[in-house]
Structure 1
Amino acid sequence: MRLLEALEPSLADSAHPYDRGDFASNPLSDEEIYEGFTRWIASRDMELYPAQDEAVLELSSGANVILATPTGSGKSTVAVAAHFAGLATGQRSYYTAPIKALVSEKFFDLCAIFGPENVGMITGDSSVNAHAPIVCCTAEILANLVLREGEGADVCQVVMDEFHFYADPQRGWAWQVPLLELPQAQFLLMSATLGDVSRFEEELTELTGRPTAYVTSTERPIPLHYYYSEEPVHEALEDLVKTGQAPVYVVHFSQLQAMDQAQALMSINVLTREEKDRVNEVIAGFRFATGFGKVLSRLVRHGIGVHHAGMLPKYRRLVEQLAQTGLLKVICGTDTLGVGINVPIRTVLITALSKFDGERTRRLKAREFHQIAGRAGRAGFDTAGTVVVQAPEHDIENAKIMERARTKFGDDEKKITQSTRGKKKKPPQGFVAWSRKTFEQLVQASPEPLTSSFTVTHSMLLNLLERPGDPLAAARRLLTENHEPAVRQRRLVLKALGILRELLAAGIVERLAEPEEDGRTLRMTVQLQENFALNQPLSPFALAALTLLDPEDPGYALDAVSVIEATLEKPRQVLTAQERKVRGEEIGRLKAEGVDYAERMNIVDEMTYPQPLAELLEQAFETYRGDAPWIAEFELAPKSIVRDMYERAMGFGDYVQHYQLARSEGILLRYLSDAYRALRQTVPLSALTPELEDLIAWLGELIRQTDNSLIDEWEKMTSGDDEPLSQETLEDLVAESAPKVTDNRRAFTVMVRNAMFRRVELFADERERELGELDHGAGWDADRWAGAMDEYFGEYEDIHTDAAARAPHHLAIDDAEDGVWRIRQALADPEENYDFSMRATVDLLSSDEEGAPVIRMDEVGFPAAGGAGGRA
């Protein structure tokens, strides 16, 4: 039964939906809440662990709870009890987590437990069922809500999962704000690695007036066994698989290392013949794209998975689902495993005890080690989990050298020393050492105490200024009662005063001649957009910058895209690849011209990735900052990824191959999805032109054909449909297919137009070899294209390829009834005759199978001459 039936049996009947008002006016008693929840637990043939039972009892009685129990000890069940207590008293509860993936996972879980009508989800992009009595969101969402509304916020139960993110240098402020500003709330703080929590106990009690219970247990339901391995990784994994310790998650601290390790493990036979047949059977219908998809297909058929943020979402979901069925024995991934990723495993093998944290290479902290190690052991499957830590590679190699020497020379230390001299491997440059002693210390170490990472920004102050009452008093309290030391608090106050002076000078805030009844002495003169600082903070600037463009300009659509792209976060891996490509091509050109090496290097050092409209946008940004100084916190980042892909007339796979982005497909797709949402949300109807609408439709369809989960999820959430998305099974995932690319005629037309204009650009640059690679299947090899070029350039000196030349009206489409389009692309000659053209057919059925236009060239040339080489 659903949990609400335990709260009130009549709720089992859809004619008696849950009503907050009924329970607010007649709340259940502490005993009824506890008994209702335990009755539901019993109905599921479950039994609470002692720590769970203690926490549920405390929550039922109205106390705050700090729950510090190991991974796998059922903290999520206690969180359900907190939401249940909120419902039973007619209050609204919030679940917060550090990443959207975990928020989404809990959303599905809570929908199944409480019913989809009672659970909502809010992200920075959009929301579904946002007024539900249970809301799932990231910590930043709740923090900004609290800044605006304070103790007037409709928030009564706050569940903060993975609470150790309180110490995160960039995001810790969001975990601290609710602890300072919600006296009406009942808190449940949860993490397996909290350290000393005495400060939180005292301050929560002082803030809320409720008792605060610290519930902890070092006893894991699934105990862990720790081992230090001094044998090579592939040997250690082979032993673990043979001894029944799989599935094994191999932890790396970079995506490159994870991918390389997975491919190196193909020599190990981890699946039986029957298991391989089963994998082939269950993924037979799954759509693997070229590039990384083909590599992953080979790996999973061998029983090996890869899991990291650079993968397409559909690939990560496939690995997670296969892992849950036991069909993957080894998964090579990154340390994001420690943040609740849904990969059930028995053994964790950690390849290193040091990591690069973005600034330097350092040893793992005790908290990081225990977060990763704690994922071992599957409840309901394993009686114990295993944690293996690898010795450094050079230590393992040196140990083997010494072992061989001792086998040969016995106890003769002199000969052993002589025989091994100069053979031992040295650690790599910059290596931070670890050893068995380091391992043993980490196993025994308690997590470090959580340290405050509070800050103040323009956005925080603007949100505070929206709050009813005296915002200065609220800001003063927030800045002097946070968890920072006194010296740091004084610096925050000075910083806040500087920000306030900026806002006053810019006229965004004004002083009132007379204080209002609630004590307010300051007032905002502008209206902040909904979800201020949650979505794209620079969206208002983008809206203003669009007015600088001329909609009649042939390049308007692409320039509008460049405005939006400048407001998005930088996808570092993509921009690095673009810069590498730009520099490589320029080096080749300069070398061909005979420019010497030193001068070549000086020239390319000044080059970077494409940044359209950079000068215009940076000047506009400086002007806009005068009226909106808070945007100085955010970086304007001119770049060209969507525009570059469109101008190159490339599909997703083409672009990945062009820039060698196979290891960063997921990052590229996430960026494209962010750009699509920003274009849909930011560009007003008055600024849309048919060409820009075409481009947006093309981008949405390109994303769908690559991995339709990101767009479909967002569009469902923004459609006003409050029904939650379904939780996916392996069968659903394999059966899932992208919609037919030809169903979206507008987007497909743009794809065809782009594909033809790509040929125009190659033709203009006389790159017959690349054209031959595109169309050799239709009989158009490089020689035949070269003949067509000779014909054209015998008549005209140049071909225009500017925005006007790629205008839609230069492509004529005859939509035949035989499953093909017959198309004619006119070339823009200098005399504007448009008499030289490319004629082709588009196979619609094959296009649906490929997810992109399948084009066959028919003829190229002047109409009277019949084209070079005639018809193919």
Structure 2
Amino acid sequence: MTLTDRLTGADGRPGGPGIGPDAALDVFVEWAGERGFTLYPAQEEAVLALTEGAHVVLATPTGSGKSLVAVAAHALALATGRRSWYTAPIKALVSEKFFALVETFGAEHVGMLTGDAAVNPGAPVICATAEVLANHALRERDSSDVGLVVMDEFHFYGEPDRGWAWQAPLLLLPGAQMLLMSATLGDTHAIEEDLHARTGREVLAVTGTQRPVPLEYEWVLTPVHETLELLLREDKAPVYVVSFTQAAAVEQAQALASVEVVTAARKAALKEAVGGFRFGKGFGHTLRRLVLHGIGVHHAGMLPKYRRLVETLAQAGLLAVICGTDTLGVGINVPIRTVLLTSLTKYDGRRQRVLRAREFHQIAGRAGRAGFDTLGHVVVEAPEHVIENAKALAKAGEDPKRQRKVVRKKPPEGTLSYTEATYERLVGAPPEPLRPRMRVTHAMVLGVLDQWEGQQDALYTLVLDNHEDDERRARLLERAVQVVGSLLSAGVLEPDDGSSLKDWLPPEPEPEEPEAPAEQGADTPEAPSEGLGALGEALAAAGFAAPEEPTPEQPASSAGAAEGLRDTPADRPPLERFLRREGPRYAEGPFQVAMDLHEGFALNQPLSAFALAALELLDRESPDYALDVVSVIEATLDDPRPVLLAQQFEARGEAVAAMKADGLEYEERMEALEEVTWPRPLADLLDQALRTYRRSHPWVDPRDLSPKSVVREMFERAMTFGELVAHHKLARAEGVLLRYLTDAYRALRSTVPLSARTEELDDLVEWLGEVVRHTDSSLLDEWEALTHPTQTAEDEVRPTPEGRALSANPRALRVMVRQSMFRRVELLALGRYEALAALDGGLSAAQWQDAAAGYLAEYGEVGAGPDARGPALFHVEQRDGTWAVTQILQDPEGDHDWRITAELDLAATDEAGEPALVVTGLAPTGGGG
């Protein structure tokens, strides 16, 4: 019987007659007691406050049972007929809580929304990422659908890029009851006071430093491997070894591979637990070897399925050591007895710095879990030079003369060090106060204005009635004026209250008088090229004015772009007055979405609005149109640095080889090499377009434009995820690559409007989605396992879920096969017969060469340009369990007589996770093969 069954009223539904908050509390306490849970005082205080309808800020240590309070909150919401939401910062934690709540409340009563997957979205209990709830609040702005919110890991409120998602629901959902939870909140008085003033509900802060499992801290002067050996001997495993770079985490794990960290019996259990889990090539092989030795690795550069495997094995108590970064410090319920920090400094993307108190306690708090341990251990390594100095002094003994002769080592030059005093300060320091991090983006504004009612009030709340100080609010107001103005200029929004664009946007500047012609013979500037003129015309046709261009190096002053944000209301531009709620008040409108936007359309990148305009510049009749659309979108995404640096390394290697062949001297080669970078398709076109775009949008930062070719390279070269990883040696950055491909997939689906889409582009997007899904298994498969009536409990929790069969998505599979066949065309055009033979073994290199000789004797060359890639030259005949595939060759005469034939085995394709394609021949039509 689930907890929901116990909350069912006389009418057979949760929250029915006879069920209210007091009765629900009694049911919950009884249910918890049956499972061996006796509420701690802090838990009891929080649950009673929730029962009385108050907001609760629960700031108790890790392991103090915050999750049980969250269950009580959901039960209270069910009992009172309200919909409750659980939010967390990462999908892995959302997934973990989803399955835990399914077990507690029943599968039919729990849903999940992560932005990638929607499972039972109409359920009364919803698990979601914080951004999903925030975007729901932007669009709906009605608390009737959100009765209670449990915000886990609430310290993310202070994250610069993501904190807005924790603040927005507090601002826009005043009718919802809030439970804000984190072990490292710090001072929350300002948040509590605002929440009380905004909603009228009482707010109770439940704090405490007493942990159910106390922590023991230790500063050690032994190297990491010696410390680990001692911890294992003292039965202080599982140990989480925290490094602050991904490479260091992997190296630490590999260094332990020769040490017996678990027994033979544990190794056998690990082999059984891993079962048929599919480890990919590259890092997958390394991880398999390590986990079978009882050693895990956990960092953000790994594929999510690998991180989840490590978490699952650790939860089962099978791993003795996990080497990773601080990624395990975010919410995942993994029983760790000891945390070993190899350093107290980290690189935060800008500089090397000492850990903040919040970061230190977030990591240290993973040690010692209730129900597993009676004491947790936090061990901090001294810097290497301090350890070596300590060893040298110990070797000198008690003799003062020998001690004075010891030459003490200093920290390496240019590095940031720390001392035992640093360690002691962090142990005793409370978490720093949270800083609000509201932001304004195109996606947020579009979300608000997508609803006709309450546009002005919602924007006012987000921009000027938030948790920020006056200075930050002024900057947010400037940004909001810019964003709304750019959406109006781009034609994404239009007035719908009888006004016109001229009523909202500043007038276009008067064109400057042309300069007098230069004297005959004087140097005259070169006239603008036709290309730039065409760009200007195309952008103007898309609704963008072209006054004087700002300098491209730095964005223009946003204050200037927003007309200065005047002190006097009468002097302020219309959009600023609207956002300040000065002048006319709008209960509805005044804007509506103007374009034919598909479901899920969003502008999530800083240059999304520019990308929308730049798509107008592309030639839809070009055979490269779909790939060019990809390049426009890729140019607006964040750079996956490890991938780009690997591409640059390859490009520079090829350039050096070519320059050597041309006889260039070393100095010339090195100078020329500085200009060689990763592939940047459409760079000139997009750079010129952005300069034109910035004439009417001077606040846009040109540094946000970064042309690159990751998806495009993968598609053009018909590479699988594993092949791209192997080709560029990205085994340690698989997670970075997958996140980038996922972002590209989302951007292509959400940014490209229906008017710019073609069948070929849709095929490409479908292919990319299947690559992402098949690289890392979907949560939907596990949902099916949970609700399937014949599935056993053991099957449900095995850490080996696989994604759906590749053949289940024939459209994406067709694109993959077409790309694989065209790859053979490219290799054939280059005469690379050994490489062709290595692809599948259907034909030997000699057979390829003999067959190609007949074609070359007739036509001389194999076409491999855009026309040769066209869908008209590719055919599939679907048979029982196989596909018969034909790729027609593009010859100079256009006869299209020759073809490559192949067979695709669907069962082998599903097993391999990539097309199992075998070439059967290269011959003219009617010539066999």
Q: TM-score, with normalisation over the residues of structure 1?
A: 0.85
Q: Any unmatched runs of 5+ in structure 1? A: none
1:246-261, aligned counterparts within 5 Å? 246-261=237-252
> More displaced, 656-665 or 475-484?
475-484
Paired with 1:459 and 1:742, the residues of 2 have a C-alpha distance of: 35
Number of aligned residue pairs: 844
Aligned to 2:321: 330
User: Per-residue displacement from partner, 1:543-592 (whole Å, max 9, x unpaired)?
Assistant: 77666555554334433444454454443332332222222222222223
Match for 1:526: what amino acid? V
Asked if the contact 1:150/1:467 (under 8 Å) is kept, the reply is no
Aligned to 1:597: 666
Match for 1:444: what amino acid? G
Paired with 1:699 and 1:564, the residues of 2 have a C-alpha distance of: 14
Pairwise CA distance, 1:5: 3.3
1:619-768, aligned counterparts within 5 Å? 635=704, 637-676=706-745, 679=748, 691-692=760-761, 694-709=763-778, 733=798, 736-741=801-806, 746-768=811-833
Q: Does 1:524 align with 2:591?
A: yes
Change (3 A) 1:463 1:823: closer
> More displaced, 651-660 or 172-181?
172-181
Pairwise CA distance, 1:790: 6.6
Q: Any unmatched runs of 5+ in structure 2? A: 500-581
Q: Does 1:134 align with 2:125?
A: yes
Aligned to 2:438: 454
Pairwise CA distance, 1:329: 0.7
Aligned to 1:445: 429
User: Per-residue displacement from partner, 1:228-285 (whole Å, max 9, x unpaired)?
Assistant: 1221111211222222111111112221111111111112111111222222233242
SS at 2:869 equivalent: coil
Asked if the contact 1:506/1:627 (under 8 Å) is kept, the reply is no
Asked if the contact 1:590/1:600 (under 8 Å) is kept, the reply is yes
Paired with 1:124 and 1:63, the residues of 2 have a C-alpha distance of: 30
Pairwise CA distance, 1:56: 0.5
Asked if the contact 1:250/1:331 (under 8 Å) is kept, the reply is yes
Paired with 1:350 and 1:534, the residues of 2 have a C-alpha distance of: 40
Aligned to 1:780: 844
Q: Does 1:608 align with 2:673?
A: no
Paired with 1:352 and 1:706, the residues of 2 have a C-alpha distance of: 33
Aligned to 2:547: none
Paired with 2:692 and 2:114, the residues of 1 have a C-alpha distance of: 31
Paired with 2:185 and 2:58, the residues of 1 have a C-alpha distance of: 9
Pairwise CA distance, 1:61: 0.9
SS at 2:868 equivalent: coil
> More displaced, 508-517 or 212-221?
508-517
Change (3 A) 1:838 1:264: same
Paired with 2:137 and 2:912, the residues of 1 have a C-alpha distance of: 48
Aligned to 1:805: 868
Asked if the contact 1:7/1:36 (under 8 Å) is kept, the reply is yes
Change (3 A) 1:144 1:840: closer
Change (3 A) 1:253 1:403: same
Paired with 1:859 and 1:466, the residues of 2 have a C-alpha distance of: 55
Which of 255, 277, 280 is matched with 2:268 structurally? Answer: 277
Which of 594, 611, 623 is matched with 1:554 structurally? Answer: 623
Pairwise CA distance, 1:367: 0.7
Match for 1:222: what amino acid? V
Asked if the contact 2:442/2:603 (under 8 Å) is kept, the reply is no
Pairwise CA distance, 1:519: 4.9
Paired with 2:288 and 2:324, the residues of 1 have a C-alpha distance of: 16
Aligned to 2:414: 430
Change (3 A) 1:216 1:128: same
Asked if the contact 2:110/2:125 (under 8 Å) is kept, the reply is yes
Aligned to 1:8: 8
Paired with 1:173 and 1:864, the residues of 2 have a C-alpha distance of: 65
Match for 1:799: what amino acid? V
Pairwise CA distance, 1:304: 0.6
1:563-578, aligned counterparts within 5 Å? 563-566=632-635, 568-578=637-647
Paired with 1:642 and 1:729, the residues of 2 have a C-alpha distance of: 38
Paired with 2:107 and 2:703, the residues of 1 have a C-alpha distance of: 36
Paired with 1:595 and 1:740, the residues of 2 have a C-alpha distance of: 52
Asked if the contact 1:149/1:468 (under 8 Å) is kept, the reply is no
How well do the aligned residues superpose, as a CA RMSD in angstroms?
4.1
Asked if the contact 2:298/2:327 (under 8 Å) is kept, the reply is no
> More displaced, 164-173 or 761-770?
761-770
Pairwise CA distance, 1:335: 0.4
Change (3 A) 1:847 1:449: closer
Aligned to 2:505: none
Change (3 A) 1:274 1:638: same
> More displaced, 172-181 or 544-553?
544-553
Which of 819, 828, 831 is matched with 2:890 structurally? Answer: 828
Aligned to 2:105: 114
Paired with 1:810 and 1:468, the residues of 2 have a C-alpha distance of: 49
Q: Does 1:581 align with 2:639?
A: no
Change (3 A) 1:114 1:691: same
1:7-26, aligned counterparts within 5 Å? 7-8=7-8, 10=10, 16-18=12-14
Paired with 1:846 and 1:702, the residues of 2 have a C-alpha distance of: 17
Asked if the contact 1:6/1:39 (under 8 Å) is kept, the reply is no
Q: Does 1:300 align with 2:291?
A: yes
Match for 1:332: what amino acid? C
Aligned to 1:176: 167
Asked if the contact 2:47/2:72 (under 8 Å) is kept, the reply is yes
Aligned to 2:355: 364
> More displaced, 92-101 or 732-741?
732-741
Aligned to 1:88: 79
Q: Does 1:382 align with 2:377?
A: no
Match for 2:865: what amino acid? D
User: Per-residue displacement from partner, 1:782-824 (whole Å, max 9, x unpaired)?
Assistant: x77667667765665433211222334545667787x776766
Paired with 1:289 and 1:295, the residues of 2 have a C-alpha distance of: 10
Asked if the contact 1:255/1:333 (under 8 Å) is kept, the reply is yes
Match for 1:830: what amino acid? P
Pairwise CA distance, 1:599: 2.9
> More displaced, 61-70 or 831-840?
831-840
Change (3 A) 1:220 1:651: same
SS at 1:136 equivalent: strand
Paired with 2:926 and 2:484, the residues of 1 have a C-alpha distance of: 73
Asked if the contact 1:222/1:384 (under 8 Å) is kept, the reply is yes
Match for 1:592: what amino acid? A
Change (3 A) 1:362 1:464: same
User: Per-residue displacement from partner, 1:667-706 (whole Å, max 9, x unpaired)?
Assistant: 3233334444555666677866564455445444444543
> More displaced, 281-290 or 519-528?
519-528
Which of 219, 225, 249 is matched with 1:234 structurally? Answer: 225
Paired with 1:503 and 1:824, the residues of 2 have a C-alpha distance of: 46
Aligned to 2:44: 53
Asked if the contact 2:601/2:751 (under 8 Å) is kept, the reply is no
Asked if the contact 2:174/2:199 (under 8 Å) is kept, the reply is yes
Report sequence identity in percent.
Answer: 53
User: Per-residue displacement from partner, 1:62-100 (whole Å, max 9, x unpaired)?
Assistant: 122111100011111112222222223222333222223
1:847-866, aligned counterparts within 5 Å? 847-855=909-917
